[in-house]
Chain A
Amino acid sequence: MSDHGNLVNPTLDAALLDRRRGSSSIFDASRPGRRGVLLPPLDVPGADPEALFGTLHRAEVEGEVEASEVDAIRHFTRLSQKNLSIDANLYPLGSCTMKHNPRINEEIARLAGFADVHPYTPAHLSQGALELMARLEAALIALTGFARVTLQPSAGANGELAGCLMIRAAHVKAGAPRKYVLVPDSAHGTNPASAHFAGYEVKELASTPRGTLDPAELEKKMTDEVAAVMITVPNTLGVFEENILDVSRIVHARGGFVYLDGANFNAFVGKVRPADMGVDVMHMNLHKTFSTPHGGGGPGAGPVGVGAALVPFLPVPTIEPEGAGFRLDFDRPDSIGRMRTFYGNFGVLVRALTYILSYGQEIGEVAENAVLNANYLRKKLAPFYHLKYDAPSYHEVVFDDKLQAAKGVHNIDVAKRLMDYGFHPPTMSFPLIVPGALMIEPTESEPIEELDAFADAMIAIAKEAEETPELVTSAPHVTPVGRVDEALLAREASRAGSFAPVLRAPVRRS
């Protein structure tokens, strides 16, 4: 926590802080006549756009920025200073898996031979890229036990959709698409949405008091009309489906497929191959398990592994060996088609393969240490925060705010107060079946002293909630902006049209 009272020159500091907070956007700082890029000279005769385009010609993009390179670098550097990041702070976002991002991955992805290669480069001039994709597919097959993996989906949810479309295509090929997909009440919200977009109606499966699936309940709901069951292992409560083998048996007995949401693959990578549990299809969020950086919202990549029954339905293209090299195969008559342009988020695939090769056969240590760290935090925090589901935790542990709510302190208040202690808040938006959830995932890349510091902060906040609850409910106190009223913002921004753009005179500061 910073203490402004200790500063040598409080006036100067206030001014500095104000500049850092900034007004603001680069549009406010734009000044006529400034420029940030020098372009190469025109070395061919100039073309006259007005003559070429006639009435379709546009003379200028009104309102666009005018700024120098210095302006741009200062602006974006100051913006960066208003973000928390995993590089400097423990970021215990349950299910989102904010782990260390090795910089060698970035260096490799930036090699000109990867970064500056156009996707339509002829195959004989892009064998390295094709080989990289083939090797990543082989590594993911080694870790999952599936028959094939498509690398094309752009993100985890995009992989879910690809998986659901393949399931539907397989059922159609077998005679009927079927009607329903079963999704547990603890699942990620994208699961039902993806099933819906594949043309399915979603039916919910209620969790047991241990937060897992109830085979008896599944047996009742699993009919010949059910195309698939979408499960998450460990689920969003951090609990491993102990009955996974029963689940697979029940689903397969009625001709359905088992879809595994691989968001939490980092909890068992190298320890369990999903195909061995009877899973037929699974997407992998590469950024979570294989450390590609989240980048403030993406990009991700969501490869999907499938068992032999679903291989004919993989999206096009697939990577196939040819002679000593590889080729793209578009000639797959039963394919669900294309999920996007080109071949996938290749740059993310480069980072993921680099990470997998860094660990190699020792990658199981990722899962072991992620589970170890989560259980350590569970042990330290259990006396201070309520555990709704008292089942063994894997890589994440879900508390709720029941003990604090009596004093009017809710999970959102604990989250905001954590920012004052220099930590990013845990996840609160799910699982939906835990009201007031605080879903904590430290990952394998946190050292013991950082786990202790986080636990100390959480414990201190629990005490504050008892003794000075208003300190917690009014937090955060030392962040670049105070608590944001998102409802007010939605209303005011909507009214003022300030989503984009703001076409008005720049604000001048006196």
Chain B
Amino acid sequence: MRYIPNSPAEQAALLREIGVSSVDDLFATVPREVLRKDPPPLAPPMSEVELRRDLGAMAARNAAATCFASFLGAGLYAHHSPAFVSQLLLRGEFLTSYTPYQPEVSQGTLTAIWEFQTHVALLTGMDVANASMYEGASALVEAVLMAERLTKKRTKVVVSRTIHPEYLATLGTYLANLGMEIVEVPAGADGVTSAAGLAAAVDDETFAVAVQSPNVFGLVEDWSVAAEAAHARGALAVGVVNEMFSLALLKPPGEAGIDIACGEAASFGIPASFGGPLVGFLACRDGFKRQIPGRLAGRLETPNGPVFALTLSTREQHIRREKATSNICTNQGLFALAATMTLTALGKHGLRETALLCLAKAEYLKAGIGRLGNGKFAIAFPGATFNEFALRCGPPVGEVLSALEKAQILGGVPYARLAPGAGEHEDLLLVATTERIRREDLDRFLDVLKGF
């Protein structure tokens, strides 16, 4: 086999050196009744030619955003990634290296992690960020667990129902057996978290209040509403972001009193890849850094320049196991690096300009829908949005999407898809724009809606 360098003769030489006559002698402590004699029921080995043909055929049966004008968002936004990013990621020193536990031979990865932390801290307005989490939903879970540790002996987390439903479902899975109660506060008629609703739900048992902005309907929420509701009763405020470009134009959570920010950073050049791998983030105020989950790179100034290393290890393998505060073991190193490279290339100006493109395209589409005049479609909520909005459809959402698809448009995400079986907002379609959308795509979208 081409991935096994030693030839059969060399393998035989190794066996002789070890002093056994066959490989099966090395498996001598495996119970005979379970050691298999026959090969597993798989096809013969495939060459690269066959792999390309077989897997390429599967890839061809998917609708890539490069072939359709894609307005799909709802937590994952298809932004452009600079060409050099995917090429540099293939450098073996990044791609095939391990977690940087040995700082002397991992300064490259460690520096990049520290830069990722710095980008996240700057964008969110927080003091400290970690080396990344699996993805947004589990980052919310870790943020909530962190808030619970920091407040001690409280049992209740208050969450806004305008957080992505899959984030809330994930939170429910993780918290199911930990003796914590999740209190959901519904959105007001305007689609944003109601300040009165939050205030009524928070009590002295509450350890955290979590809100998202822009929320699942794309609406901009005011972080300070959550911060005030939480702090009034001694709880911590958790802010969720799943479209990080919004932070180029919107006051960051850290400036509005949020204590822990978390969410998804995949907007920075991470391929959609049918939903994973992505790159979650978690950031907090300085005073909370000892409870931050996962990995953290620190920077030490020396006469020969800065040196980086993983530090403040709260992770499970370095401490007494019964004290583990998290079972997180990996971060998303390679994709945190991809996000860091993308942010470097965009820089301060590119960040803002990209965000302005996303915003302008969404506003153009919203205005066009407002002028349709056929009475079949409406912008569901009046509040400000960034690059995504909820479209209320008169015709069934499925029919609208089919019509758009005929015009080579992936028209958006039915809200019902986010929470299957909930029977909520079945007439809502979430429509997102990025810098990859052109004016002609927007006009085509409007033409299709006009046809209803």
Say yes or no: is B103 at the interface (Cβ < 8 Å to chain A).
yes
A347 neighbours in B (Cβ, 8 Å): 271, 273-274, 276-277
What does the 1/0 interface line of B5-24 toward A look like (CB < 8 Å)? 11000110111011100010
A502 neighbours in B (Cβ, 8 Å): 118, 299
Say yes or no: is B327 at the interface (Cβ < 8 Å to chain A).
yes
Known A56-B222, A299-B334; judge A72-B344 contact (CB<8 A).
Answer: yes
- In the assembled complex, the Cα of A80 lies from the Cα of B109 at a distance in Å of 7
Closest residue to B273 on the A side, CB-wise? A347
**CB-contact partner of B11 in A270, A340, A369, under 8 A:** A369
Closest residue to A499 on the B side, CB-wise? B128
Known A66-B347, A342-B76, A484-B104; judge A43-B438 contact (CB<8 A).
Answer: yes
What does the 1/0 interface line of B163-201 toward A look like (CB < 8 Å)? 010110110111011100000000000000000000000
Interface residues of B in 247-290 (CB under 8 A from A): 247-252, 264, 271-278, 286, 289
Known A297-B331, A299-B330; judge A498-B299 contact (CB<8 A).
Answer: yes
**CB-contact partner of B332 in A83, A298, A344, under 8 A:** A298
- Check B274 against A119 for contact (C-beta < 8 Å): yes
Say yes or no: is A481 at the interface (Cβ < 8 Å to chain B).
yes
Stretch of A156-164, A218-226, A250-258, A461-469 at the chain-chain interface = A156-164
A175 neighbours in B (Cβ, 8 Å): none
Say yes or no: is B305 at the interface (Cβ < 8 Å to chain A).
yes
- Check A120 against B82 for contact (C-beta < 8 Å): no
Say yes or no: is A229 at the interface (Cβ < 8 Å to chain B).
no
CB distance from A134 to the nearest CB of B (A): 10
- Check A60 against B352 for contact (C-beta < 8 Å): yes
- In the assembled complex, the Cα of A113 lies from the Cα of B68 at a distance in Å of 12
Known A85-B97, A296-B97, A481-B107; judge A190-B45 contact (CB<8 A).
Answer: no
- Check A85 against B44 for contact (C-beta < 8 Å): no
- Check A360 against B43 for contact (C-beta < 8 Å): yes
CB distance from A384 to the nearest CB of B (A): 16
Known A69-B84, A297-B333, A494-B312; judge A196-B298 contact (CB<8 A).
Answer: no
Known A277-B34, A494-B298; judge A339-B94 contact (CB<8 A).
Answer: no
- Check B95 against A108 for contact (C-beta < 8 Å): no
- In the assembled complex, the Cα of A158 lies from the Cα of B88 at a distance in Å of 29
- In the assembled complex, the Cα of A45 lies from the Cα of B263 at a distance in Å of 31
- Check B276 against A193 for contact (C-beta < 8 Å): no
Closest residue to A23 on the B side, CB-wise? B305
- Check B173 against A271 for contact (C-beta < 8 Å): no
A109 neighbours in B (Cβ, 8 Å): 273
A127 neighbours in B (Cβ, 8 Å): 61-62
- Check A361 against B94 for contact (C-beta < 8 Å): no
- Check B18 against A375 for contact (C-beta < 8 Å): yes
Stretch of A88-96, A303-311, A399-407 at the chain-chain interface = A88-96
- Check B108 against A125 for contact (C-beta < 8 Å): no
B445 neighbours in A (Cβ, 8 Å): none
- Check B10 against A87 for contact (C-beta < 8 Å): no
Known A338-B173, A347-B271, A424-B98; judge A57-B250 contact (CB<8 A).
Answer: yes
- Check B274 against A359 for contact (C-beta < 8 Å): no
What does the 1/0 interface line of A473-496 toward B look like (CB < 8 Å)? 000100111111010111011101
- In the assembled complex, the Cα of A345 lies from the Cα of B193 at a distance in Å of 31
- Check A330 against B421 for contact (C-beta < 8 Å): yes
CB distance from B426 to the nearest CB of A (A): 15
**CB-contact partner of A65 in B326, B337, B344, under 8 A:** B344
Interface residues of A in 97-144 (CB under 8 A from B): 98, 100-104, 106-122, 125-129, 131-132, 139, 142-143
- Check B104 against A372 for contact (C-beta < 8 Å): no
- In the assembled complex, the Cα of A65 lies from the Cα of B65 at a distance in Å of 29
Closest residue to A66 on the B side, CB-wise? B347
Closest residue to A300 on the B side, CB-wise? B330
A480 neighbours in B (Cβ, 8 Å): 104-105, 107
Closest residue to A115 on the B side, CB-wise? B271
Known A120-B74, A273-B34; judge A80-B88 contact (CB<8 A).
Answer: yes
CB distance from B238 to the nearest CB of A (A): 17
A58 neighbours in B (Cβ, 8 Å): 247-252
Closest residue to B134 on the A side, CB-wise? A154
- Check A64 against B348 for contact (C-beta < 8 Å): yes
Say yes or no: is A265 at the interface (Cβ < 8 Å to chain B).
no
A488 neighbours in B (Cβ, 8 Å): 300
- Check A340 against B135 for contact (C-beta < 8 Å): yes
Say yes or no: is B410 at the interface (Cβ < 8 Å to chain A).
yes
B72 neighbours in A (Cβ, 8 Å): 118, 120-121
A84 neighbours in B (Cβ, 8 Å): 93, 97, 102, 105-106
Interface centre among A132, A341, A343, by most chain B C-beta atoms within 10 angstroms, is A341
What does the 1/0 interface line of B280-312 toward A look like (CB < 8 Å)? 000000100100000111111100111101111
Say yes or no: is A173 at the interface (Cβ < 8 Å to chain B).
no
Q: How large is the interface on A (under 10, 10 to 19, 20 to 34, 35 or more residues)?
A: 35 or more
B120 neighbours in A (Cβ, 8 Å): 500
- In the assembled complex, the Cα of A338 lies from the Cα of B384 at a distance in Å of 31
Say yes or no: is B119 at the interface (Cβ < 8 Å to chain A).
yes
What does the 1/0 interface line of B91-131 toward A look like (CB < 8 Å)? 11111111111111111110111110111111100011101
B352 neighbours in A (Cβ, 8 Å): 60-61
B309 neighbours in A (Cβ, 8 Å): 484, 486, 489
Say yes or no: is A356 at the interface (Cβ < 8 Å to chain B).
yes
A350 neighbours in B (Cβ, 8 Å): 55, 273
Interface residues of B in 321-367 (CB under 8 A from A): 321-322, 324, 326-337, 341, 343-357, 359-361, 363-364
B316 neighbours in A (Cβ, 8 Å): 189-190, 192-193
B349 neighbours in A (Cβ, 8 Å): 35, 66
B13 neighbours in A (Cβ, 8 Å): 448
Known A56-B222, A193-B326; judge A492-B300 contact (CB<8 A).
Answer: yes
- Check B357 against A115 for contact (C-beta < 8 Å): no
- Check A86 against B96 for contact (C-beta < 8 Å): yes
- Check A354 against B55 for contact (C-beta < 8 Å): yes
- Check A493 against B311 for contact (C-beta < 8 Å): yes
- In the assembled complex, the Cα of A294 lies from the Cα of B312 at a distance in Å of 22
- Check A125 against B98 for contact (C-beta < 8 Å): no
- Check B104 against A158 for contact (C-beta < 8 Å): no
A341 neighbours in B (Cβ, 8 Å): 75-76, 135-137, 164, 166-167, 170, 264, 275-276, 278
A369 neighbours in B (Cβ, 8 Å): 4, 6, 11
Say yes or no: is B56 at the interface (Cβ < 8 Å to chain A).
yes
Closest residue to A29 on the B side, CB-wise? B344
What does the 1/0 interface line of B39-58 toward A look like (CB < 8 Å)? 11111111010011011111
- Check B363 against A202 for contact (C-beta < 8 Å): no
B152 neighbours in A (Cβ, 8 Å): none
Closest residue to A485 on the B side, CB-wise? B300
What does the 1/0 interface line of A344-364 toward B look like (CB < 8 Å)? 111110100110111111111
Say yes or no: is A268 at the interface (Cβ < 8 Å to chain B).
yes
CB distance from B450 to the nearest CB of A (A): 18
Say yes or no: is A27 at the interface (Cβ < 8 Å to chain B).
yes
- Check B306 against A24 for contact (C-beta < 8 Å): yes
Known A108-B55, A296-B333; judge A113-B61 contact (CB<8 A).
Answer: yes
Q: Can you show 25 pairs from A to B with CB atoms below 8 A apart?
A: A36-B346, A37-B346, A47-B360, A61-B122, A71-B344, A76-B341, A91-B98, A109-B273, A113-B59, A129-B274, A143-B40, A154-B138, A197-B327, A273-B34, A296-B99, A299-B334, A340-B170, A341-B166, A342-B275, A361-B40, A362-B44, A369-B6, A375-B26, A492-B301, A502-B118
Known A80-B93, A297-B132; further 5 A-B contacts with Cβ < 8 A = A40-B438, A101-B95, A121-B274, A301-B276, A379-B19
Q: Top 5 closest A-B pairs, CB basis? A: A342-B275, A297-B333, A199-B177, A295-B334, A113-B59
